[in-house]
């Protein structure tokens, strides 16, 4: 028989997690104002809030931490990180930052000004936050297929070239500092962008004189999908594919908490010296000296090793196969999930799952709260709470999809956990007809409300 995939590692250290009772969880949720971000991790059995910074490091990474060089300037650890980033991306300039949004803050301080327009494929929430904070606009040019969860287009992160060109025609070049390609596209479901699409966006953008930057948190997972789904790519290594992707960009922002396989960190890598010089000034103000940017030497060492490990096929194959395993289990149970299954998470369609909950009462949030009450599993809403209000009208922005994201941390849980998650969701699915009420907001902040919003049960 065909041998199944299995992890290309074994477990050397474990961390205990505890199950709780439904009564405990109901009380904890009330105390948390029905916001899953407010729960203590000890109140969660399986934590699928995010795959960001929640993965397990390898023994090689832990070993590298011991030899971190904590010099303020020019450390060996910076050099190790520089060498790895340069090898994988080809970019000649590197600025470490404390995480991905810090990289956005530094880079956008150089590139984005009031009134600018930044087209891309469903910008990530902090990215959009950093754009809107500067009174600029993020314009979503993702292909329409991305918003039909039954459509199994292999590259649902792709940019629609017509939508992009319409932006290039509508606004003067001076108002479009760059086009941002997010790989994989987090907001549209961990969906990849094809190499062909990246090349086409590059040639269109060249024609209009607009540079391309990558929001590259999950670039290695994107490269895995290119290798396994795109014609002519199967025989290339992940590292070769990554190098080609980045060859089309002027630079990248990175959240190392994803495909860096570390618990904290980020960086900016750049091609242009002038942008690097300007960004260096903002790095010093916001992050720290340019050879550490808010990271300890040991963090940079662990990241250098992690970037290498995350761009190996065997690791990516087991990681993405586990996410697929969970997705397929849910499909088997008849649960509506986004197809194809994304790279880092399974996205459950809450509008189909909970048709009786009114849109204004946040169905995806409601589903997340039900799953927590059922099984102690914490997912996250990718819906109206996340989409926030229109900065001008202050009305709720209703996105096309209302999703519950179950993000799978890297190298952390086993397939027994996946079976448990699927069973928990199935139990909620079996009683979905009886779930008719959602939640109302009692308090929210001015931007990025989903992290701190307070809710109450709808009457
Ligand atoms: C996580 C993420 C960010 C922000 O990175 P942080 O490390 O969380 O600050 C930006 N863009 C994308 C696509 C992400 O997934």
Query: Is any ligand 1 atom within 6 A of the Cβ of residue 127?
Result: yes
The per-residue pLDDT for 407 is: 97
Ligand 1 centroid distance, CA of 104 (Å): 9
**Contact status, residue 116 vs residue 137, Cβ threshold 8 Å:** yes
The per-residue pLDDT for 446 is: 86
CATH number of 59-310: 3.40.640.10
Task: Count Cβ atoms below 10 Å from residue 218 Cβ, excluding itself.
Answer: 27
**Every domain range in the chain assigned CATH 3.90.1150.10:** 22-51+313-457
Ligand 1 centroid distance, CA of 124 (Å): 7
Distance of CA 249 to the CA centre of its chain: 19
Contacts of 318 (CB under 8 A, 6+ apart): 5, 6, 7, 8
Query: Is any ligand 1 atom within 6 A of the Cβ of residue 182?
Result: yes
- In this structure, CATH architecture of domain 22-51+313-457: Alpha-Beta Complex (3.90)
Ligand 1 centroid distance, CA of 430 (Å): 34
Residues annotated catalytic, as ranges: 72, 124-125, 215, 217, 258, 450
If you take atom 14 of ligand 1, which residue's CA is the nearest one? Answer: 217
Query: Is any ligand 1 atom within 6 A of the Cβ of residue 217?
Result: yes
The CA distance from 246 to 242, in Å, is 6
**Every domain range in the chain assigned CATH 3.40.640.10:** 59-310
| Neighbour-count burial for 366-397, b at 16+ CB within 10 Å, e otherwise | bbbbbbbbbbbbbbbbbbbbbbbeeeeeeebe
- What is the rounded average pLDDT for all residues in the chain? 96
Query: Is any ligand 1 atom within 6 A of the Cβ of residue 124?
Result: yes
pLDDT in tens, the chain (459 residues): 999 889 999 999 999 999 999 999 999 999 999 999 999 999 999 999 999 999 999 999 999 999 999 999 999 999 999 999 999 999 999 999 999 999 999 999 999 999 999 999 999 988 999 999 999 999 999 999 998 888 999 999 999 999 999 999 999 999 999 999 999 997 677 899 999 999 999 999 999 999 999 999 999 999 999 999 999 999 999 999 999 999 999 999 999 999 999 999 999 999 999 999 999 999 999 999 999 999 999 999 999 999 999 999 999 999 999 999 999 999 999 999 999 999 999 999 999 999 999 999 999 999 999 999 999 999 999 999 998 888 888 899 998 889 999 999 999 999 999 999 999 999 999 999 999 999 999 999 988 899 999 999 999
Query: Is any ligand 1 atom within 6 A of the Cβ of residue 52?
Result: yes
Ligand 1 centroid distance, CA of 337 (Å): 23
């Amino acid at each position: 028989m065909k041998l199944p995939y299995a992890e290309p590692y074994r477990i050397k250290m474990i961390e205990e997690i505890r199950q709780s009772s439904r009564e405990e969880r109901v009380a904890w949720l009330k105390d948390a104002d029905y916001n899953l971000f407010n729960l203590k991790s000890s109140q969660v059995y399986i934590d699928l809030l995010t795959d960001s910074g929640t993965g397990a490091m390898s023994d090689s990474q832990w070993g590298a931490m011991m030899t971190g060089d904590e010099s303020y300037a020019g450390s060996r650890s910076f050099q190790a990180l520089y060498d790895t980033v340069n090898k994988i991306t080809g970019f000649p300039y590197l600025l470490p930052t404390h995480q991905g949004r810090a990289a956005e803050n530094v880079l956008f301080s150089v590139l984005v000004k009031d009134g600018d327009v930044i087209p891309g494929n469903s910008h990530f929430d902090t990215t959009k936050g950093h754009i809107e904070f500067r009174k600029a606009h993020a314009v979503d040019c993702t292909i329409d297929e991305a918003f039909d969860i039954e459509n199994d287009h292999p590259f649902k992160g792709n940019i629609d070239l017509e939508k992009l060109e319409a932006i290039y025609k509508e606004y003067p070049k001076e108002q479009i500092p760059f086009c941002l390609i997010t790989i994989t596209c987090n907001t549209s479901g961990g969906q990849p962008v094809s190499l062909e699409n990246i090349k086409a966006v590059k040639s269109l953008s060249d024609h209009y004189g607009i540079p391309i930057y990558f929001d590259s948190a999950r670039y290695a997972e994107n490269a895995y999908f290119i290798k396994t789904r795109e014609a002519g790519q199967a025989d290339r290594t992940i590292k070769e594919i990554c190098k080609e992707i980045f060859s089309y960009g002027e630079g990248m922002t990175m959240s190392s908490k994803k495909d860096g396989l570390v618990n904290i960190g980020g960086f900016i890598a750049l091609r242009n010296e002038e942008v690097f010089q300007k960004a260096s000034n903002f790095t010093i103000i916001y992050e720290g000296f340019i050879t550490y940017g808010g990271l300890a030497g040991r963090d940079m060492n662990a990241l250098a090793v992690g970037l290498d490990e995350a761009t190996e096929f065997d690791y990516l194959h087991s990681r993405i196969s586990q996410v697929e395993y969970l997705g397929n289990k849910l499909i088997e149970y008849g649960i509506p999930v986004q197809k194809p299954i994304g790279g880092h998470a399974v996205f459950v369609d809450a509008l189909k799952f909970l048709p009786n909950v009114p849109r204004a009462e946040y169905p995806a949030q409601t589903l997340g709260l039900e799953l927590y009450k059922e099984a102690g599993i914490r997912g996250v809403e990718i819906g109206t709470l996340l989409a926030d209000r229109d900065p001008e009208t202050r009305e709720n922005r209703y996105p096309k999809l209302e999703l519950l994201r179950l993000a799978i941390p890297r190298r952390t849980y086993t397939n027994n956990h996946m079976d448990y998650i699927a069973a928990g969701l199935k139990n909620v699915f079996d009683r979905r007809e009886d779930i008719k009420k959602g939640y109302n907001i009692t308090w929210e902040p001015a931007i990025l409300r989903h992290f701190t919003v307070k809710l109450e049960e709808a009457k």
